[in-house]
């Protein structure tokens, strides 16, 4: 391996790195869309936090993104996230867990996650709270940011996960009173085939209800590659963007 190849393999240069150039361009295009949507929504200076969803893409891409100024990345499977976080421990990154989560994974997730966007049931909230007590004792880490994932499907058991809006207050109460957890707000994925205007409008209502009881829980995690403009229009504070920055997800090996 010559020096240029070694540099490419490490993702740290020297030598050309076409993938880095590609990510830079895609990221710039997404930032332009975000800026346009922020301006159109009349909320200048109030840019949502960009979380780049790196699931199925190698740790090397996360390293490249960090070199482009990305601070927040999202993953949806514990094993993959834990491995990448361990491989990239030296970088200043905040890891956001955005996928359906089994309670028995709580212990693992609190070791690396800054936030969990997919808290959708009491049992999971309890497991995260318990895991955070132990993790805080061990490391003194900051509270885990918790977003309540809300189902926007009409049929309550939407396969994309989430609590029914009627169940949000109880879940919020538990998160708010749990040591080691911080109730950050709400999260949703627009149902497949549904109008994102309707979906994110509904999420904004759920958020308004939540902040009436919990004034600090102003987070709205909404907006993916396809619908980020609509999400921003309806008050998204956190965007979760994958494919428009990283390209199509590689097939699972």
Residues that bind ligand PLP (CB under 6 A): 53, 55, 76, 98-99, 189, 224-226, 240-244
Residue number, 56 or 180, with CB nearest to ligand PLP: 56
203, 196 Cβ separation under 8 angstroms: no
Residue number, 182 or 240, with CB nearest to ligand PLP: 240
Would strands 144-149 and 72-75 be described as parallel, antiparallel, or unpaired?
Answer: unpaired
Q: How far is the CB of 51 from ligand PLP (least distance, A)?
A: 8
Residue number, 164 or 249, with CB nearest to ligand PLP: 249
Q: How far is the CB of 92 from ligand PLP (least distance, A)?
A: 22
Residue number, 108 or 225, with CB nearest to ligand PLP: 225
- Which of these, 204, 211, 195, lies nearest to 153 by C-alpha position? 195
Q: How far is the CB of 53 from ligand PLP (least distance, A)?
A: 4
Q: How far is the CB of 199 from ligand PLP (least distance, A)?
A: 13
Residue number, 180 or 242, with CB nearest to ligand PLP: 242
Q: Give burial (CB, 10 Å; 0-12/13-18/19+) of 143.
A: middle
Q: How far is the CB of 192 from ligand PLP (least distance, A)?
A: 11
C-alpha triplet 80, 145, 68: angle, nearest 5°: 60
Which residue's Cβ has the minimum distance to ligand PLP?
A: 242
Tokens encoding 237: 């504070």
Residue number, 93 or 135, with CB nearest to ligand PLP: 93
Q: Which residues contact 204 (CB under 8 A, 6 or more apart)?
A: 220, 234, 235
Can you state the angle between helices 18-40 and 59-67, rounded to 10 degrees? 60
Q: How far is the CB of 33 from ligand PLP (least distance, A)?
A: 12
DSSP string covering 4-47, please? Answer: HHHHHHHTS-SS--HHHHHHHHHHHHHHHHHHHHHHHTT-TT-P
Q: How far apart are CA 49 and CA 71, in angstroms?
A: 10
């Amino acid at each position: 391996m010559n020096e240029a190849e070694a540099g490419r393999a490490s993702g740290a240069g020297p030598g050309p790195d076409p993938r880095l150039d590609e990510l830079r361009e895609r990221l710039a295009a997404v930032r332009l869309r975000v800026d346009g949507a922020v301006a159109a929504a009349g909320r200048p200076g109030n840019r949502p936090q960009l979380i780049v969803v790196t699931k199925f893409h190698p740790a090397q891409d996360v390293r490249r993104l960090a070199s482009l100024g990305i601070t927040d990345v999202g993953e949806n499977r514990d094993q993959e996230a834990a491995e990448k976080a361990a491989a990239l421990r030296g970088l200043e990154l905040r890891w956001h867990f955005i996928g359906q989560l089994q309670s028995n994974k709580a212990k693992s997730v609190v070791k690396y996650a800054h936030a969990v966007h997919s808290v959708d049931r009491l049992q999971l909230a309890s497991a995260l709270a318990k895991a955070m007590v132990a993790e805080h004792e061990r490391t003194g880490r900051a509270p885990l940011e918790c977003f309540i994932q809300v189902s926007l499907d009409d049929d309550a058991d939407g396969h994309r996960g989430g609590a029914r809006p009627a169940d949000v207050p109880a879940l919020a109460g538990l998160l708010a009173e749990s040591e080691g957890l911080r109730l950050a707000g709400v999260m949703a994925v627009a149902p497949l085939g549904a109008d994102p205007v309707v979906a994110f409008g509904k999420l904004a209502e759920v958020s308004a209800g939540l902040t009436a009881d919990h004034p600090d829980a102003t987070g709205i995690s909404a907006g993916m590659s396809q619908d980020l403009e609509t999400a921003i229009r309806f008050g998204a504070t956190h965007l979760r963007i994958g494919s428009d920055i990283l390209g199509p997800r590689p097939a699972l090996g």
